[in-house]
């Protein structure tokens, strides 16, 4: 029943969970997995609050709000998604995640992760506790007995993985191979950077760096476009399968370090003004 609930919620909401990607293409003992980067990637990224609209096959279906806070040496990353249109609204679909972590020798270390998915009045919860001294994780799904797993590398949860990708992006040569904790296992997740793209967004025309998830199933695709000038925050995420459903998350509002980001001109306006702009009309993100 729990698996069915998650699948319905995923289909109805198509929310931030689309970045909790399927099994990897490389073995867990791949030599590049979580290797130190060339230099310290720096502190946790700046505090922010981002709002996104969710689309399924071109139709608005929900919204997601993502917040990063820093409290002393610890950071808290939260995402909250809810259905606002169509089936997602009818089923009252929702997906809430939170991770609390700390920096250790310049590396992100999640301490506790939780997720609560709900649809049609049915709840599904799971929690992860990270024991870095013992290098083990404890996973509890609903009221099941805890599952203890050994870390093959510096394991991350789905939220802190996204944050670590952003921290590494200023270093193009940094490896993008990670160990991610799932509900009943630790999977390797592999990504690659793609060439820069100009993108039309609700925040205006932005130069972005796309990051692509490497899938075993080549019919599936998952890409996230990050804006370097906005602390590498994701401004769009696409996920789907060739010939199947296409899911999108598009940024609508952003507050960075307590400052509301004012939309800049669109790509067409920049091009007409002869300023910094894409060579063509730009990728449409609206």
Model confidence at 152, pLDDT cuts 50, 70, 90, reads confident
Please state whether the predicted TM-score (pTM) of the whole model is above 0.85: no
Greater pLDDT, 145 or 235: 235
Residue 127 has pLDDT above 90, yes or no: yes
Q: Which residues contact 214 (CB under 8 A, 6 or more apart)?
A: 24, 25, 190, 191, 192
Residue with more model confidence, 62 or 107: 62
Question: In the chain, what is the straight-line distance between the N-terminal and C-terminal CA atoms, in Å?
Answer: 36
Mean pLDDT (whole number) for 194-221: 93
Query: Looking at residue 280, what is its pLDDT?
Result: 43
Residue 43 has pLDDT above 80, yes or no: no
3-state secondary structure labels for all residues of the chain: CHHHHHHHHHHHHCCHHHHCCCCCCCCCCCCCCCCCCCCCCCCCCCCEEEEEEEEECCEEEEEEEEEEEEECCEEEEEEEEEECCHHHHHCCCEEEEEEEEEEECCEEEEEEEEEEEEECCEEEEEEEEEECCCCEEEEEECCCCCEEEECCCCEECHHHHHHHHHHHCCCCCCCCEEEEECCCCEEEEEEEECCCEEEEECCEEEEEEEEEECCCCCCEEEEEEEEHHHCCEEEEEEEEECCCCEEEEEEEEEEECCEECCCCCCHHHHHHHCCCCCCCCCEECC
What per-residue confidence (pLDDT) applies to 222?
94
Residue range 169-191: average pLDDT? Answer: 89
Report the share of the chain in percent with pLDDT over 70: 80
pLDDT reading at 274 higher than 80: no
pLDDT surpassing 60 at residue 65: yes
- What was the pLDDT predicted at 270? 83
pLDDT, position 276? 60
Mean pLDDT of the chain: 83
How far is 165 from 53, CA to CA, in rounded Å? Answer: 22
CA 93 – CA 237 distance, rounded (Å): 20
Per-residue CA distances from 149 to 30, 125, 129, 280 (Å): 18, 18, 11, 50
| Averaged pLDDT for residues 256-283 | 77
Q: What average pLDDT does range 267-275 have in this prediction?
A: 81
pLDDT of 11 strictly over 70: no
Q: Which residue has the higher pLDDT, 192 or 20?
A: 192
- Dihedral sign from CA coordinates of 228, 41, 33, 99: negative
Task: Pick the closest to residue 46 from 69, 72, 65 (CA basis).
Answer: 69
| pLDDT score recorded for residue 72 | 82
């Amino acid at each position: 029943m729990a698996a069915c609930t998650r699948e319905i919620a995923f289909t109805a909401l198509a929310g931030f969970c689309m970045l909790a990607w399927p099994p990897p293409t490389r073995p867990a003992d791949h030599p590049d997995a979580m290797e130190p980067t060339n230099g310290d990637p720096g502190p946790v990224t700046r505090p922010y609050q981002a709002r996104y609209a969710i689309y399924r096959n071109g139709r608005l279906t929900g919204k997601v709000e993502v917040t990063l806070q820093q409290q002393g040496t610890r950071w808290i990353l939260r995402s909250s998604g809810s259905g606002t249109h169509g089936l997602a609204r009818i089923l009252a679909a929702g997906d809430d995640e939170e991770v609390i972590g700390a920096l250790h020798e310049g590396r992100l270390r999640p301490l506790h992760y939780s997720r609560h998915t709900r649809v049609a009045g049915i709840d599904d919860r799971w929690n992860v506790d990270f024991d870095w001294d013992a290098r083990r994780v404890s996973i509890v799904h609903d009221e099941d007995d805890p599952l203890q797993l050994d870390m093959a590398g510096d394991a991350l949860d789905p939220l802190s993985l996204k944050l670590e990708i952003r921290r590494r992006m200023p270093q193009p040569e940094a490896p993008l191979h990670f160990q991610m904790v799932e509900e009943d296992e630790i999977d390797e997740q592999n990504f690659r950077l793609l060439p820069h793209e100009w993108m039309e967004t609700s925040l205006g025309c932005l130069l972005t760096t796309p990051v692509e998830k490497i899938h075993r199933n080549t019919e599936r695709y998952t890409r996230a476009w990050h804006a370097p000038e906005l602390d590498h925050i994701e401004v769009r995420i696409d996920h789907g399968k060739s010939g199947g459903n296409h899911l999108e998350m598009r940024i609508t509002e952003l507050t960075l370090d307590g400052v509301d980001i004012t939309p800049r001109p669109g790509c067409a306006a920049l091009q007409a003004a002869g300023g910094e702009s894409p060579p063509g009309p730009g990728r449409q993100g609206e």
